[in-house]
Amino acid sequence: MTSHTAEPAEPPLDLVLVGHGMVGQRFLEAWTEQPGARRRRVTVLAEEPRPAYDRVHLSSLFEGRTPEDLALCPPGFLAEHGIELRLGDPVTAVDRAARTVTTRSGARLRYDDLVLATGSAPFVPPVPGRDAAGCHVYRTVEDLDAIRADATKAVVAGGGTGIVVGGGLLGLEAAGALRAMGLTTHVVEFAPRLMAVQVDEGGGELLRRKIEELGVTVHTAAAASGVATGPDGAVRGLLLSDGRELAADLVVFSAGVRPRDRLARDCGLAVGPRGGIVVDERCRTEDRAVLAIGECAQAADGRVYGLVAPGYQMAETAARELAGRPGPGFTGADTSTKLKLLGVDVASFGDPHGTAEGALDVLYSDGRLGVYRKLVIGTDGALLGGVLVGDTDAYGTLRPLATAGRPLPVPPEQLVLPAGSAAAGPIALPDDAVLCSCHNVTQGAVRAAVREQGGGSVAEVKKCTRAGTGCGSCLKQLTTVVTEELAAAGAEVGTGLCEHFPQSRAELYEIVLVTGITTFSALVDRHGTGEGCDICKPTVASILASLSNGHILDGEQAALQDSNDHFLANLQRNGSYSVVPRVPGGEITPDGLIAIGEVARDFGLYTKITGGQRIDLFGAGVDQLPAIWARLVDAGFESGHAYGKALRTVKSCVGETWCRYGVQDSVGLAIELELRYRGLRSPHKLKSAVSGCARECAEARSKDFGVIATSAGWNLYVGGNGGMTPRHADLLAADLDRETLIRTIDRYLMFYIRTADRLERTSVWLERLDGGLDHLRAVVLDDALGIAAELDALMARHIDSYQDEWAATLSDPDRLRRFASFVNAPGTPDPAVTFVPERGQIRPARPDEDGHVLPAPAPVLVAGPRLEVLAK
């Protein structure tokens, strides 16, 4: 009998990853997808005290998001794949001969393969004083915490000025953050224009103008020569090379980044002449056991890429290489970018500067609208690149065309002219066009995911191709391609509101109506997925408000609102707010006029009669809003809902009471309708008017619903629209008596709210409605669907549950706490919101003007059972 001794199992190979940023996390994800990944023992050594997070959206921390919201490493991911992560213990030395790394804590780890993903470090110009207290960089969560602390200190002390050195992508993000925190903000850029790498002279000029209109002062062709400090050693100002000194309380250096290649230099690995660990197409260094990916590496084409998309591609290349799998190497990447800087949309793709010989520019510029579009066309008619400022909707189509490398299928002017022009129209992308540059996914791969892999929705296609899971700039085009492919296959195309809800807005309305769900979290838990987005959250908030499910600032509801609804006032261009009290039908007493005038005078507000027969009060700070409302509420006014997707106004002429042509009391009816429908939340804003005769002085036929008096009653018109795409309303019914008229309007409005899409005006809804006006007439007049009683009940429910949102806010301390420019200094005016006098009133100060801040009002005592509202 022969015995057999089992051979000992081979010990697992050790894979060490140095760095756990965005690229490091993508490498781990790509590695775990490789066959045999479990045969390696993976250790990650990170410098920061937290796992990988989304550094691209770091500025959102100033908008209320938390570091946890930005986390990229899913819970349980590391444990599931047996990956050990050591935080706050960076590698300090690499011994290539012994194949070991040593960490700051003194730990020594062996490796069979080493992947360096150490990223980049902010470049701080070597100027005197750069290490003074109040000098910062803009790179990590901890950096932003330090900036926030210094900015808050400066603002509380009486104002504060912040200077950003660097006018590139990150510099403008930093400037936006400083401005949002209430600092007077300057940007100093060495180049002759902002974003010199991404945009051309024309785009840079428009970008500068739009940013300066927002109150940020821009200094181009200027270099920092030193930081001035005070007796306490803290920042006092920034010295410029031309001899000027800009006063400042803090300075943020955002003048670019440099590869973090020190480990490679110290262990003898080759680095590029301008930095970056030299790697080949497989991301291997000259030492085959060491790879480098992301911003620390100089790629095979001799470039160091500072964007996340090329880093992701390098991470995937390295993962395949270590698994011994064939695949494309990394030879270069698309550096296109699309983002919003200080509220300004900017995009750059391909070769925006036209460096190719014989390249020609096709330009469209509209200074009035603030739109700039430039395409660079090659001698063969191919799109080489371009710049978009102010309107980047075409980016999803243009960027793939620029990477396709073939003549355009349409004349280039068709791609830059505004929508609606004679030359504009849709075009088809070739299948080899890269749709998602972050993960290098072509349009053909997306179509194949639908046809061959059963991707029946955008969410499913994202899961199997990873398209749309990076920066997100391709989502619009991705959705279009998936929808087209599903329709071509005869499949039912999903009408989901967004990736979190497969239902349409109308379907979600029905769910909330039937189930009685009162919160977004309950709705997404039972009928959706994920945590929601900026599409579904305000949409569901509107549905809940339409069904009278509590005050919009109560509990979870408050977090769902858009910026205007969040503060029950209209945000203006300089960061102040406007207040619009309701004036039903445009009728107002002398005492009411006096009360509004006194409020405007006492708070220093600009007053304007609006086109909707109301009085708008401009220039209020967040801290002032409750005090202003208290005065208006005591004078008998209430919210005019100028900030919400709700009924705005019911405009009227003077009617038969005063006018010699009038045949009905238009003022009385307008007041009745406005008070009946006030506060009615809907998919889009609603406007109405009542004219007392056919002369139509109230312009009723340009409204969502309009009424015109006849000698026999009232004519009802619906689906009108003013603005950029005007549409005359259609006659729904003629010569109605008052009771029938109101009942018909009730049903029309509730049917619209129940069935319209998100942000769909009544004009668009009516044109889309199957059966159009005839179907609408059958529903609201003849009860063809048998839902008339339900529509009547829904309107009655709204009327019975109406409450003035201003007065309700004043009575609740939890709601009032949000009305502060600075949470740690309530009542402190925002020093970035400044004004200058003009025509006896105020207007927002321009960047080149020395404006003043409106003073905080004295404490206001509110009569009755409401709280004492303090303005400071």
pLDDT band at 611 (very low <50, low <70, confident <90, very high): confident
Cα separation, 507 vs 491, in Å, equals 20
Of the two residues 728 and 64, the one the predictor is more confident about is 728
Signed CA dihedral, 592, 594, 597, 599: sign only: negative
- In this prediction, what percent of the chain has a pLDDT beyond 90? 50
Over range 708-728, report the average pLDDT: 89
What was the pLDDT predicted at 755? 94
Over range 640-649, report the average pLDDT: 92
* Residue 726: how many other CB atoms lie within 10 Å: 10
Write out pLDDT tens, residues 381-423: 888 989 988 888 788 778 888 887 788 878 888 788 765 343 3
Answer whether 265's CB lies under 8 Å from 279's CB.
Answer: no
* Residue 396: how many other CB atoms lie within 10 Å: 21
- Selection from 828, 872, 825 nearest residue 853 by Cα: 828
Cα separation, 294 vs 836, in Å, equals 48
**DSSP secondary structure letters along 169-207:** HHHHHHHHHHHHTT-EEEEE-SSSSTTTTT--HHHHHHH
Q: What is the mean pLDDT of the chain?
A: 86
Helix intervals (H) in 343-409: 395-404
Of the two residues 772 and 327, the one the predictor is more confident about is 772
* Residue 243: how many other CB atoms lie within 10 Å: 7
pLDDT band at 822 (very low <50, low <70, confident <90, very high): low
Cα separation, 345 vs 389, in Å, equals 6
What was the pLDDT predicted at 846? 78
Write out pLDDT tens, residues 287-321: 999 999 999 999 999 999 988 889 999 999 999 99
Helix (H) or strand (E) holding 83: strand 83-86
pLDDT band at 11 (very low <50, low <70, confident <90, very high): low
What was the pLDDT predicted at 752? 96
Over range 327-353, report the average pLDDT: 81
Helix (H) or strand (E) holding 462: helix 458-465
Cα separation, 410 vs 425, in Å, equals 9
Q: How does DSSP classify residue 296?
A: G
Q: What is the pTM of this model?
A: 0.60
pLDDT band at 860 (very low <50, low <70, confident <90, very high): very low
What was the pLDDT predicted at 852? 77
Three-state DSSP string of 666-724: HHHHHHHHHHHHCCCECCCCEEEEEECCCCCCCCHHHCCEEEEEECCEEEEEECCECCC
Question: Structural domains in the chain?
Answer: 13-120+259-322 (3.50.50.60), 135-255 (3.50.50.60), 436-494 (1.10.10.1100), 505-561 (no CATH), 568-639+804-872 (3.90.480), 646-803 (3.30.413.10)
What was the pLDDT predicted at 648? 93
Task: State the Cα angle at 517 between 516 and 519, rounded to 5°.
Answer: 145
How many residues does the structure list for the chain?
A: 872
Cα separation, 619 vs 830, in Å, equals 12
Write out pLDDT tens, residues 540-566: 988 988 887 677 777 667 667 776 787
Q: 229-233, 681-685, 834-838: which has the minimum mean pLDDT?
A: 834-838
Cα separation, 362 vs 271, in Å, equals 40
What was the pLDDT predicted at 472? 63
- Selection from 736, 737, 749 nearest residue 779 by Cα: 749
pLDDT band at 279 (very low <50, low <70, confident <90, very high): very high
Write out pLDDT tens, residues 448-480: 888 877 777 777 788 788 887 766 667 767 777
Collapsed DSSP state (helix, strand, coil) of residue 304: coil
Q: 101-115, 378-392, 410-424, 732-746: which has the minimum mean pLDDT?
A: 410-424
Three-state DSSP string of 771-815: CHHHHHHHHHHHCCCCCHHHHHHHHHHHHHHCCCHHHHHHCCHHH
Write out pLDDT tens, residues 441-453: 887 888 888 887 7
Write out pLDDT tens, residues 421-436: 433 334 566 777 777 8
Cα separation, 160 vs 828, in Å, equals 13
What was the pLDDT predicted at 588? 94
What was the pLDDT predicted at 377? 92
Structure-block tokens of residue 493: 């195309």
Q: Which residue, chain included where needed, has tokens 């270069």?
A: 332
Q: Which residue, chain included where needed, has tokens 């992947």?
A: 115
Q: 6-10, 68-72, 224-228, 642-646: which has the minimum mean pLDDT?
A: 6-10
Cα separation, 734 vs 860, in Å, equals 51
pLDDT of residue 666 exceeding 80: yes
pLDDT band at 10 (very low <50, low <70, confident <90, very high): low
Helix intervals (H) in 279-333: 308-322
pLDDT of residue 863 exceeding 80: no
Of the two residues 336 and 212, the one the predictor is more confident about is 212
- Selection from 193, 190, 187 nearest residue 217 by Cα: 187
- Interaxial angle between packed helices 169-180 and 141-156, expressed in degrees from 0 to 180 and rounded to the nearest 10: 40
Cα separation, 680 vs 647, in Å, equals 6
What was the pLDDT predicted at 6? 47
What was the pLDDT predicted at 765? 93
Name, of 107-121, 165-179, 502-516, the range with top average pLDDT.
107-121
Cα separation, 23 vs 9, in Å, equals 33
- Give 732's Cβ-side CA count (13 Å radius): 33
Task: State the Cα angle at 307 between 302 and 310, rounded to 5°.
Answer: 60
Question: Residues 19, 25, 30, 31: what is their CA dihedral angle, to the nearest 10 degrees?
Answer: 50
- In this prediction, what percent of the chain has a pLDDT beyond 70? 91
First-to-last alpha carbon distance for the chain, in angstroms, is: 95
Over range 85-104, report the average pLDDT: 96
Cα separation, 355 vs 142, in Å, equals 40
